[in-house]
Chain A
Amino acid sequence: MTPEQHYLLQARQMQALSFSVHIPLVCFGIAFPTLLLFVEWLYLRTGDPLYRTLARRWTNVMVALFAAGVVTGTILSFEMGLLWPAFTATFGSVFGLGFAVEGFSFFLEAIFIGIYVYGWNRLSPRLHFATGIPIALAGFTGSLMVISVNGWMNHPSGFRLSHGKAVDVHPFKALFENAYFWHELIHMYVAGYIVTGFLVAGAYAVLRLRGRWGRYEQTALAIPLTMAALAALVQVLVGDWSGREVARYQPIKLAAIEGLRETTNGASIHVLGWYSDGRVKFGIGVPKVLSLLADHRINARVQGLDAVPARDRPPVNVVRFAFQTMVGIGTLLALLALVYLAVRIRRRRLPRSTWFYRALALAGPLSVVALISGWVTTEVGRQPWVVYRVMRTSQAVTGARGIPVGYGTLLLVYVLLLAAVAWVLWRLSRKPLDLEPSLSAAELD
Chain B
Amino acid sequence: MLHLYLIPLIFALIGLAFYTVLGGADFGAGFWELTAGKGPRAQAVREHAHAAMAPVWEANHVWLIFVLTVVWTAYPTAFGSIASTLSIPLFIAAVGIIFRGVTYALRAGATGPRELSAIDTVFSISSVLTPFALGTAIGGIASGRVPVGNAAGSEFSSWLNPTSLLVGVLAVTAAAYLAAVFLCADATKLGDRRLEEQFRRRALGAGIVAGVIAVVGLGVIAGDADRIFDRLTTGAGLAGLVISLVGGVATLALVWRRQYELSRYGAALAVAAIIAGWALAQSPVFLPGLTVEAAAAPRATLIAVTVAVLGGAVILFPSLALLFRLVLSGRLAEGGESVDLRPAPRLVRASRQGLLARGALACLIAGIGLLTAAEADWAHALGVLSLFGFVAFGFPAALPPHVLPQHNDAKPR
Contact = CB atoms under 8 A, between A and B. Distances in A.
Asked if A and B are interacting partners, one says yes
Given A85-B80, A100-B73, 20 more contacts: A45-B344, A45-B405, A60-B108, A74-B98, A81-B68, A93-B74, A100-B66, A114-B323, A121-B336, A123-B326, A171-B300, A182-B381, A218-B402, A230-B395, A233-B364, A241-B372, A241-B380, A398-B151, A400-B87, A423-B106
A13 interface: no
A96 B405 contact: no
A227 to B, nearest CB: 6
A68 B102 contact: yes
24 contacts: A45-B344, A64-B106, A73-B65, A81-B72, A81-B84, A81-B90, A85-B83, A89-B77, A97-B308, A103-B312, A108-B316, A110-B61, A114-B58, A115-B322, A118-B55, A123-B326, A171-B304, A193-B391, A223-B403, A230-B390, A238-B387, A400-B87, A400-B151, A401-B151
A71 B332 contact: no
Given A45-B343, A171-B304, A400 B84 contact: yes
Contacts of A45: 343-347, 405
Considering residues B108, B331, B346, B383, which has the most beta carbons from chain A within 10 angstroms of its beta carbon?
B108
B101 A93 contact: no
A169 B301 contact: yes
A101 interface: yes
A46 B405 contact: yes
Nearest to B329: A122
Interface in B48-82: 54-56, 58-59, 61-62, 64-66, 68-70, 72-77, 79-82
A222 B397 CA distance: 12
A67 interface: yes
A218 B405 contact: no
B391 A234 contact: yes
Closest A-B pairs by Cβ, 7 of them:
A81-B83, A96-B73, A89-B80, A92-B76, A47-B343, A71-B101, A427-B109
Nearest to A84: B80
A91 to B, nearest CB: 7
Interface size class of A (residues with CB under 8 A): 35 or more
Interface of A: 4, 42-48, 52, 60, 63-68, 70-75, 77-78, 80-82, 85-86, 88-94, 96-97, 99-104, 106-108, 110-115, 117-125, 134, 166-172, 179, 182, 186, 193, 215, 218-219, 222-223, 226-227, 229-231, 233-234, 237-238, 240-241, 296, 341, 344-345, 348-350, 398-402, 406, 409-410, 413, 416-417, 420-421, 423-428, 444-445
A421 to B, nearest CB: 6
Nearest to A410: B95
A118 B55 CA distance: 7
A103 B65 CA distance: 6
Nearest to A166: B298
Contact of B315 (A80, A108, A230): A108
Given A97-B305, A125-B339, A230 B151 contact: no
A186 B385 CA distance: 10
Given A237-B371, A398-B150, A172 B304 contact: yes
Contacts of B94: 74-75, 78, 82
B11 to A, nearest CB: 9
Contacts of A42: 347, 404-405
B399 A222 contact: yes
Given A240-B372, A400-B155, A77 B68 contact: yes
A70 B316 contact: no
A12 B301 CA distance: 28
Contacts of B98: 71-72, 74-75, 413, 417
Nearest to A60: B108
A167 B54 contact: no
B73 A93 contact: yes
Given A48-B409, A103-B65, A444 B97 contact: no
Nearest to B77: A89
A230 B394 contact: yes
A129 B401 CA distance: 24
B319 interface: yes
A115 B323 contact: yes
A226 B315 contact: no
Given A82-B83, A92-B72, A125-B341, A107 B347 contact: no
Contact of B55 (A114, A121, A222, A428): A114
B204 interface: no
A345 B319 CA distance: 44
A249 to B, nearest CB: 12
A166 B150 CA distance: 17
B403 A103 contact: no
Contacts of A80: 68, 72, 83
Contact of B336 (A120, A166, A410): A120
B111 interface: yes
Nearest to B54: A118
Contacts of A240: 372
A32 to B, nearest CB: 14
